[in-house]
Chain A
């Protein structure tokens, strides 16, 4: 892993509150985290813990109520947004979701190509890079197919290609394997690891899938808006968790 010490994202004291009065929900409570270049981090936790909120806050989709975010060395939020969130996302962030969210009227290739074209790449250069990525992700043969003609795993690979095409500093994924079987899910997780390591991208993946935790460099856990102190999951723990999961499955 290269440049592991250089953080791609640093967040400090992030707080996000939805609603007010009786309906107030504190989704993030003074959350701080740091992800380095080329690092793949899992974000675990029960439903409603604030995982997706953290993702939307780091992705500049919804600003936090307070805190500070630095992405790629640039302060993007410090009590208020300091950049144009859309243009910043265009250049520095990539997203993958539970559903691939591919644009249904574009082919797999065009979906990837579009992400680069909105970032001012020429169509030719966008097409070349998109094709290279699809090839790298093993779906080049489906490049001319519409999303409706692709399997769930293929769609998710195309979504990863789209998220990676602009070489983002940070890739955020929200339960990207939830709609996939275990084999396909693991393939996608491995894809994140390979992409992160090879392209030096920081990856934060929200997941409930403990079976593929060995893929990650690190895991964080959230509960009631608190981010637990990050701890590197050693391989033994992962294997143990996998074993427990297998036992539960077969007994």
Chain B
């Protein structure tokens, strides 16, 4: 006769409420692990998606994600000239926050080397990739943008032509993909007044030297576009992504490029390591500690619940002892209830989590390994939590029946 099941059936409402409570607690524990996995996945998502063998960044920096990296655009051409390199794309990434339809719109802008890279590798769920050199955008669904939305950025308006899913930056912001030149326009956009002031300042500085006074043609150039002035305001990119021909060792190519005095090179794994150790590590530890605390809280609450359930049955346990029931029958009653509480709580946590986690603003990823690990933890805390009740039950004197 399964006493645990009989007791649960008799106090079904209380058991269900208790189990749901434990389930919600375990869902938080599960969620914490999922948030950490989500952080890691978001942090490394882009690195994995673009799948470059090498990341060439500004010398001495750990860019472009861990810190700012600025490279002249011509690095792309120089890298392409290195033997065994089959592809080199400049990479531009920066975050903007604007107001759109009365709500803050936060986007991590990525520049694509159009027309070579139209965003064919993006996980589109609607629309298409970039079809022209300017004024089009592919945005992630989490931004809230939909096909046809027109977003004013800088002095231009960009139309959303494609929508992706799951493309978020390491900070959790939705990504928006523009052509490289558009991404730069957005990044370096300056108000007209700033440009006019700069031109005037340039002309004034030129007039202050002899060359400016004796060469009026130079004064004309100084008053013109910045981009028209040689060696002033070169087009900057965040990094250059390099793909090495199949069969060649990226490390050898990296060694060659590293020898250049103005760049640093990271492999695909090196870049991921930078992201994980630099950006996610503290969050990982924070979440890990919080998770441990939640597990302890769950264990304590389970122990108290099981202890209370045992106290409710002290008289019955005394009766069982009086009847001569062996300890294993009494322990089984408590332990089976603990395991049912833990097991069903785990199930509730999983199913509620499946429904709740997709609504979280940031990605929550529940991995099978993590589920297994948590199941083992739940098993252990169920057993540990029942100990308090078991000790109490073992100390009950059969004579309690008479009291």
Which residues of A are at the interface with B, using a C-beta cutoff of 8 A? 52, 56, 59, 61-62, 86-91, 95, 97, 101, 103-106, 110, 113-115, 117-119, 123, 146, 162, 174
Contact = CB atoms under 8 A, between A and B. Distances in A.
8 contacts: A89-B323, A89-B398, A95-B323, A103-B319, A104-B316, A105-B10, A105-B11, A117-B1
Contacts of B402: 52, 56, 61, 97, 174
A56 B398 CA distance: 10
A232 B397 CA distance: 35
A110 B6 contact: yes
A227 B1 CA distance: 42
Interface stretch (B122-130, B189-197, B324-332): B324-332
B402 to A, nearest CB: 6
B399 interface: yes
Contacts of B9: 105
B105 interface: no
B313 to A, nearest CB: 9
Given A110-B1, A117-B1, A104 B10 contact: yes
Contacts, number: 68
Given A104-B10, A105-B6, A105-B9, A97 B401 contact: yes
* Closest A-B pairs by Cβ, 4 of them: A90-B324, A105-B10, A118-B325, A89-B324
Nearest to B325: A118
A56 B399 contact: yes
A86 B315 contact: no
A113 B1 contact: yes
A118 B326 CA distance: 7
B322 A95 contact: yes
B323 A118 contact: yes
Contact of B324 (A62, A91, A123): A91
Contacts of A62: 399
A115 B319 CA distance: 10
Contacts of A61: 322, 397-399, 402
A86 B321 contact: yes
B186 interface: no
A105 B1 contact: no
B257 interface: no
Contacts of B370: none
B249 interface: no
A114 B1 contact: yes
B7 interface: yes
Contacts of A101: 315, 319, 401
Interface in B278-322: 315-316, 319-322
A67 B3 CA distance: 38
A113 to B, nearest CB: 7
Contact of A114 (B7, B315, B323, B401): B323
A202 B322 CA distance: 18
A101 B323 CA distance: 11
A87 B324 contact: yes
Contact of A106 (B6, B315, B397, B401): B6
Given A59-B322, A86-B321, 5 more contacts: A61-B397, A86-B324, A89-B398, A105-B3, A114-B3
Contacts of B401: 95, 97, 101
Contacts of B322: 59, 61, 89, 95
Given A89-B324, A95-B322, A118-B326, A123 B399 contact: no
Interface string B316-353: 10011111111001000000000000000000000000
A97 B322 CA distance: 12
A101 B7 CA distance: 16
B298 to A, nearest CB: 26
A118 B329 contact: yes
A15 to B, nearest CB: 18
A113 B323 CA distance: 12
Contacts of B397: 61
A195 B223 CA distance: 120
